[in-house]
């Protein structure tokens, strides 16, 4: 069994939110055939409770604990012309030295999760390196800039420009670069055409036993009217924007027909703006961190994904479909999901459209939607299938053949 270095910008366990779900399943798949040496950052004190479980899967584990607020200040202090703030945020001399020692000790395979970790293994001759960018992060910052006011607009526009320049550099340097969907890979190639032939994608999957309608969960909320549910980390700006917009623009339209509808916002670290939604409206529930989101999804009349800014594939959409619940999403949240709108989930581009779809579900229409959604996930999103080619990425010759490009971009 060979050794493999796995670098991640956040501790990949427990797999309780999007970026950690993907990282953990990639880690577990590679751990079948490699001794794993994991280096990562820990920025949530709650994750310390899971370190012993993580160590069981590692030949070696290097954890760099950071404070989010302090790290943001450091990223500004470390800023240099042309350098994205993201790289300063995830810079660590300690992790760099640990990585150097691992490579010097003979490890010649590395999987790097997130472009922010790519600096640790740039220009590493003799090491087979796979970089999983997941999403085009620079495009996310450009989306932020388009919606922000001054001065955030200028800061985020700069981050978009400088991070794209770095993403292009990294994709040319690493042996393979992955994205979460064909749409994300093609979007990156349009921005960085020189990387054609070096870029592909591997989709996310779903734990189909864990996220199954077969489970019988007790109701997590007091008995009452039907409930629409949103899940996600509630200190992530696209999620904050989504639930705020839904509460302000969509929920009142639904309540014109179903006045009792409740809205549950389920996820850790809700911002003050999110908490205020519950303070002003007794029909909105903000849970904060929960041990398990599945009971909320299982008892939802509908699951909503009203994202206006989104990259890649939304795990919250796939997981709700896997649990057989009716899902209503924006086109942004639907991007990258292989499912048939109108039969396996519902897509609405604006507030009136989303509200009309929600009313239809609450009125008893779309009775087969949940079962069809579950079937779609069973068909296309089993982790065993989506990660089947992962080990092979470390076996190809150093000079990439066109087959990788053809597999990714037929």
Instruction: Please report, in tens digits, the pLDDT of each residue of the chain (410 residues total).
Output: 899 999 999 999 999 887 899 999 999 999 999 999 999 999 999 999 999 999 999 999 999 999 999 999 989 888 889 899 999 999 999 999 999 999 999 999 999 999 999 999 999 999 999 999 999 999 999 999 998 888 989 999 999 999 999 999 999 999 999 999 999 999 999 999 999 999 999 999 999 999 999 999 999 999 999 999 999 999 999 999 999 999 999 999 999 999 999 999 999 999 999 999 999 999 999 999 999 999 999 999 999 999 999 888 899 999 999 999 999 999 999 998 999 999 999 999 999 999 999 999 999 999 999 999 999 999 999 999 999 999 999 986 544 333 343 344 43
What pLDDT is stored for residue 19 in this prediction? 84
Query: 2-202+387-408: which CATH number, 3.40.1000.10, 3.40.50.300, 3.40.50.11720, 3.30.1050.10?
Result: 3.40.50.11720
What pLDDT is stored for residue 396 in this prediction? 60
Contact call for residues 71 and 89 (beta carbons, < 8 A): yes
Task: Tell me how many degrees the CA angle 159-165-171 measures, rounded to the nearest 5.
Answer: 125
List the domain boundaries for the chain. Answer: 2-202+387-408, 227-380
Distance (Å) of CA 191 to CA 112, 140, 251, 354 = 21, 13, 37, 32
Residue given tokens 């012309």 in the structure block: 81
Helix (H, G, I), strand (E, B) or coil at 342: coil
Contact call for residues 43 and 69 (beta carbons, < 8 A): no
Helix (H, G, I), strand (E, B) or coil at 210: coil
Q: Which string of b and e fits 62-88 if b means at least 16 CB within 10 Å?
A: bbbebeeeebeebbeeeeeeebbbbbb
Closest Cα to residue 198, out of 410, 389, 408?
A: 408
Closest Cα to residue 266, out of 245, 282, 243, 237?
A: 243
What pLDDT is stored for residue 159 in this prediction? 95
What pLDDT is stored for residue 217 in this prediction? 97
Distance of alpha carbon 188 from alpha carbon 242, whole angstroms: 25
Closest Cα to residue 99, out of 1, 4, 5, 3?
A: 5
Domain 227-380: give its CATH architecture: 3-Layer(aba) Sandwich (3.40)
- Dihedral angle sign, alpha carbons of residues 283, 265, 183, 382: negative
Helices (H) and strands (E) in the chain, counts: 18, 13
Contact call for residues 233 and 47 (beta carbons, < 8 A): no
The bridge status of strand 34-42 relative to strand 60-65 is: parallel
Residue 7's beta-bridge partner residues? 39, 112
Distance of alpha carbon 76 from alpha carbon 83, whole angstroms: 11
Q: Which helix (H) or strand (E) holds 128?
A: strand 128-134
Encoded tokens for 401? 């053949």
Closest Cα to residue 369, out of 298, 302, 299, 297?
A: 302
Which segments of 43-127 are extended strands (E)? Answer: 60-65, 109-113
Closest Cα to residue 274, out of 289, 261, 260?
A: 289
Sheet harboring 109-113: ordered strands across? 60-65, 34-42, 2-8, 109-113, 128-134, 176-179, 199-201
Task: Give the list of residues 6+ apart from residue 88 with CB closer than 8 angstroms, or none.
Answer: 74, 75, 76, 77, 78, 79
């Amino acid at each position: 069994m060979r050794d493999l270095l796995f670098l991640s910008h956040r501790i990949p366990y427990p797999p309780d939110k999007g970026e950690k779900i993907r990282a953990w399943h990639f880690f577990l798949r590679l751990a079948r055939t490699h001794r794993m040496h994991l280096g990562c950052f820990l920025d949530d004190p709650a994750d310390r409770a899971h370190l012993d479980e993580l160590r069981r899967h590692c030949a070696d584990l290097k954890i760099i604990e950071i404070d989010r607020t302090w790290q943001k200040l450091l990223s500004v202090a470390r800023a240099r012309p042309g350098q994205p703030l993201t790289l300063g945020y995830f810079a660590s001399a300690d992790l760099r030295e640990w990585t150097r020692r691992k490579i010097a000790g003979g490890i010649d395979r590395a999987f790097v999760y997130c472009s922010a970790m790519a600096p640790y293994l740039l220009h590493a001759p003799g090491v087979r390196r796979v970089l999983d960018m997941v999403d085009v992060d620079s495009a996310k910052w450009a989306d932020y800039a388009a919606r922000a006011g001054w001065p955030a607009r200028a800061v985020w526009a700069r981050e978009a420009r400088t991070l794209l320049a770095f993403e292009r550099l990294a994709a040319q340097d690493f042996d393979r670069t992955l994205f979460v969907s064909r749409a994300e890979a093609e979007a990156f190639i349009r921005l960085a055409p020189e990387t054609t032939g070096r870029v592909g994608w591997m989709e996310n999957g779903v734990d189909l036993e864990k996220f199954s309608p077969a489970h019988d969960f007790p109701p997590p909320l007091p008995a009452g009217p039907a409930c629409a549910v949103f899940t996600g980390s509630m200190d992530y700006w696209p999620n904050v924007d989504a639930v705020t917009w839904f509460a302000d623009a969509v929920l009142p339209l639904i309540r014109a027909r179903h006045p009792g509808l409740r809205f549950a916002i389920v996820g850790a670290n809700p911002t003050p703006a999110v908490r205020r939604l519950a303070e002003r409206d007794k029909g909105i529930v903000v849970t904060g961190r929960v041990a398990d989101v599945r009971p909320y999804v299982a008892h939802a009349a509908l699951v909503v994904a009203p994202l206006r800014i989104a990259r890649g594939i939304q795990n919250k959409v796939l997981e709700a479909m896997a649990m057989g619940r009716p899902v209503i999403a924006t086109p942004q949240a639907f991007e990258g999901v292989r499912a048939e709108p109108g039969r396996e989930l519902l897509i609405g581009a604006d507030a009136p459209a989303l509200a009309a779809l929600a009313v239809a579900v609450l009125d008893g229409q779309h009775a087969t939607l949940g079962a069809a959604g579950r079937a779609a996930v069973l068909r296309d999103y089993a982790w065993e299938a989506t990660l089947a080619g992962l080990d092979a990425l470390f076996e190809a010759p150093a000079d990439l053949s066109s087959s990788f490009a053809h597999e990714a971009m037929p």
